[in-house]
């Protein structure tokens, strides 16, 4: 279980997180929604320790994430970055198998390559993509390679930062199904940031709406259409009028 | 009065910011060196960096040394002829190259070629979240990106300087024999007779220091790059300027240390 308690983060005079409280139960899929620049990615990076919160507490299974063996902590996570964040200097299969080629999860090269090709197939890419370099792929293909890398070591917890942005609707559907599969079959905990409401309905068990640095609403996906929350209503229906200012 | 105070405050702010930068660079250097003592080590990254920084810089450093040696021979001959001291050309070319021009020009050429490319590469990795991705994949970016580059440059630049010394002396030899009517045997004899081991070794030590500075500045500015293309551009420029200035400043300090009476 991941727990955020009163987490604050400011960049200079800009207060991005103003006291976030959120709980993500193990084996569930939490989707965080909210306008651009509301701090969704910052919250996610705070959990991973990529950004240090100014105050508050973040715990994983009751233990403070800032304490203990950092490598062991990170080995439990997989992350899909917004732009893919693939390593330009490595071919696709080495990107996917990065974790399997070094460190505590190291495997023989042939086995790591085999796993990488299997994960590529799982995200809808053919084996001949394995030896290409990221610069030779389209944006959507890069995203799928990023997803294959996130799941390569079969982590317990996976973060997805805008997993379907830049993908065509069919491929977005495939990725949504895959994320759902990872949660149900692998029993992984997923935390996803997305603006795509089709994805939200497809992959979420629970939803949290982030606005103005705090969680405005959280609850199961089944309740989003009758939440009674004006922020959530405006967001999911994409209305220009409402409590969320359209110009930020 | 207000104008004077404002001016002094602006100077103070710049001095404080400059001191803070020195502190951050010092901590970055200590952090880099500390990874030398802590596994894991990325041998493949190190050999790749060695190839990029050492082998691929050889043409530019070699050409610089060759032409500098030739020009130096012409200048010393022109100056020396005023005092009927033309015979000092081979020894001064050799001493000047090995002690000063070889390491300094070699260091500056490597700074232009390598500090910029390291800063641009790491800066782009930072703005495209590749550095964050490394961390989430349980790989320390300092260990994976910075240490191999700094270590490779520290070991490769002295070798480049050594090759540059030989080529520079050869440039002087070609001009001396071809244009200034020295006999080949006399030129070589005068070169070897006056050149001491310490002249060469001190230049190689300087080369190691300059290599360390070049890669450290490239990595530091890349890791601290701002967002977007403009941020990477600024980081690249800052890396080359900082490396060049630090090479010249440390050259003075090392010369003072090695050769002051």
Token duo for residue B51: 């190839």
A85 to B130: CB separation less than 8 angstroms, yes or no: yes
Identify each DSSP E strand in chain B by its residue range.
none
> Is the pLDDT reported for residue B64 higher than 60?
yes
What pLDDT score was predicted for residue A92?
A: 97
Q: What mean pLDDT, rounded, does chain A reach?
A: 90
Chain B residues closer than 8 Å to A99 by CB: 137-138
Interface of B with A in 117-136 (CB under 8 A): 124-125, 128-130, 132-136
Higher-confidence position of A153 and B248: B248
B40 to A102: CB separation less than 8 angstroms, yes or no: yes
pLDDT digits (tens, 9 = 90+) for B251-261: 999 999 998 86
CA distance B69 to B96: 9
Chain A residues closer than 8 Å to B44 by CB: none
> Is the pLDDT reported for residue B67 higher than 60?
yes
- Which DSSP state fits A9? E
Chain B residues closer than 8 Å to A78 by CB: 136
Domain boundaries, chain A: 25-51+69-207
* CA pseudo-torsion sign B122, B127, B129, B135: positive
Q: For residue A159, what is the nearest residue in chain B, using CA coordinates? A: B136
pLDDT digits (tens, 9 = 90+) for B216-241: 999 999 999 998 899 999 999 999 99
What pLDDT score was predicted for residue B261?
A: 64
- Which DSSP state fits A232? H
Between the two ends of chain A, the Cα-to-Cα distance in Å is 33
Contact of B261 with chain A, judged by CB distance below 8 Å, is answered with no
State the average pLDDT over residues A104-119: 93
pLDDT digits (tens, 9 = 90+) for B120-159: 999 999 999 999 999 999 999 999 999 999 999 999 999 9
Residues 6+ apart with CB under 8 A from A218: A22, A206, A207, A208, A209
> Is the pLDDT reported for residue A151 higher than 60?
yes
Chain A residues closer than 8 Å to B42 by CB: 102
CATH architecture of the region A25-51+69-207: 3-Layer(aba) Sandwich (3.40)
What pLDDT score was predicted for residue B51?
A: 96
Instruction: Classify residue A240 as left (phi > 0), alpha (psi -120 to 50) or beta.
Output: alpha
Please name the member of A45, A71, A87 whose beta carbon is closest to the beta carbon of B138.
A71
Residues 6+ apart with CB under 8 A from B189: none
Chain B nearest-CA distance from A153, in A, is 10
pLDDT digits (tens, 9 = 90+) for A13-61: 999 999 999 999 999 999 999 988 888 999 999 999 999 999 999 999 9
Q: For residue B144, what is the nearest residue in chain A, using CA coordinates? A: A102
pLDDT digits (tens, 9 = 90+) for B10-46: 999 999 999 999 999 999 999 999 999 988 899 999 9
- Which DSSP state fits B144? I
> Which ipTM value was assigned to this complex?
0.88
* Separation of CA A198 from chain center: 16
What pLDDT score was predicted for residue B227?
A: 87
Residues 6+ apart with CB under 8 A from A34: A40, A209, A210, A211, A235
Q: Is residue A240 a contact partner of residue A246, using CB atoms and an 8 Å limit?
A: yes
Q: What mean pLDDT, rounded, does chain B reach?
A: 94
Chain B nearest-CA distance from A134, in A, is 12
Higher-confidence position of B54 and A240: B54
Interface of B with A in 13-42 (CB under 8 A): 40, 42
Contact of B3 with chain A, judged by CB distance below 8 Å, is answered with no
Chain A nearest-CA distance from B128, in A, is 6
Confidence of residue A98 (pLDDT cuts 50, 70, 90): very high
CA distance B104 to A199: 59
What pLDDT score was predicted for residue B165?
A: 96
Q: Nearest Cα to A73, choosing from A48, A53, A43? A: A48
Confidence of residue A195 (pLDDT cuts 50, 70, 90): confident
A81 to B138: CB separation less than 8 angstroms, yes or no: no
Chain A residues closer than 8 Å to B133 by CB: 79, 81, 85-87
> Is the pLDDT reported for residue A113 higher than 80?
yes
CA distance B111 to B237: 11
B137 to A88: CB separation less than 8 angstroms, yes or no: no
Confidence of residue A247 (pLDDT cuts 50, 70, 90): low
Contact of B91 with chain A, judged by CB distance below 8 Å, is answered with no
């Amino acid at each position: 279980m991941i727990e955020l308690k009163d987490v604050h983060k400011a960049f200079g005079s800009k207060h991005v997180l103003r006291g976030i409280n959120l709980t993500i139960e193990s084996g569930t899929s939490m989707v965080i929604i909210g306008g651009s620049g509301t701090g969704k990615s910052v919250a996610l990076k705070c959990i991973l320790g990529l950004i240090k919160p100014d105050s508050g507490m973040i715990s994983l299974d009751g233990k403070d994430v800032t304490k203990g063996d950092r490598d062991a902590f990170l080995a439990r996570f997989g992350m899909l970055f917004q732009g893919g964040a693939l390593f330009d200097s490595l071919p696709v299969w080495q990107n996917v198998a990065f974790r399997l080629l070094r460190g505590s999860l190291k495997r023989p090269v042939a086995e790591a390559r085999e796993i990488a090709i299997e994960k590529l197939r799982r995200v809808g890419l053919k084996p001949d993509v394995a030896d290409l370099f990221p610069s030779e792929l389209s944006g959507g293909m890069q995203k799928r390679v990023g997803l294959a890398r996130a799941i390569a070591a079969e982590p317990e917890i996976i973060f997805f930062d805008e997993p379907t942005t830049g993908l065509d609707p069919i491929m977005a559907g495939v990725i949504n199904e895959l994320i759902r599969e990872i949660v149900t079959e692998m029993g992984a905990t997923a935390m996803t940031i997305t603006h795509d409401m089709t994805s939200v309905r497809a992959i979420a068990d629970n939803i949290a709406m982030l606005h103005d640095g705090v969680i405005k609403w959280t609850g199961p996906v089944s309740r989003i259409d009758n939440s009674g929350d004006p922020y959530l209503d405006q967001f999911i229906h994409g209305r220009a009028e409402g409590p969320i200012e359209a110009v930020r | 009065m207000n104008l004077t105070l404002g001016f002094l405050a602006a100077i103070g702010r710049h001095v404080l910011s400059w001191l803070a930068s020195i502190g951050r660079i010092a901590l970055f250097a200590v952090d880099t060196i500390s990874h030398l003592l802590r596994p894991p080590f990325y041998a493949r990254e190190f050999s790749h960096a060695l190839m990029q920084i050492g082998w691929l810089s050889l043409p530019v450093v070699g050409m610089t040394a060759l032409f500098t040696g030739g020009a130096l021979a012409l200048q010393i001959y022109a100056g020396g002829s005023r005092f009927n001291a033309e015979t000092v050309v081979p020894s001064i070319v050799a001493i000047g190259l090995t002690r000063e021009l070889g390491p300094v020009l070699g260091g500056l050429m490597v700074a232009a070629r390598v500090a910029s490319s390291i800063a641009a590469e790491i800066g782009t990795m930072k703005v495209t979240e590749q550095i964050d991705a490394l961390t989430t994949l349980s790989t320390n970016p300092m260990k994976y990106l910075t240490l191999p580059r700094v270590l490779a440059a520290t070991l490769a630049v002295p070798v480049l300087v050594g090759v540059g010394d030989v080529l520079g002396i050869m440039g002087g030899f070609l001009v001396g024999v071809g244009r200034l009517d020295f006999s080949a045997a006399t030129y070589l004899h005068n070169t070897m007779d006056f050149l001491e081991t310490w002249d060469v070794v001190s230049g190689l030590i300087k080369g190691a220091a300059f290599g360390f500075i070049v890669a450290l500045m490239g990595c530091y500015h890349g890791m601290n790059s701002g967002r977007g293309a403009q941020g990477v551009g600024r980081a690249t420029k800052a890396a080359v300027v900082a490396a060049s200035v630090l090479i010249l400043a440390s050259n003075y300090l090392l010369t003072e240390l090695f050769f002051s009476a």
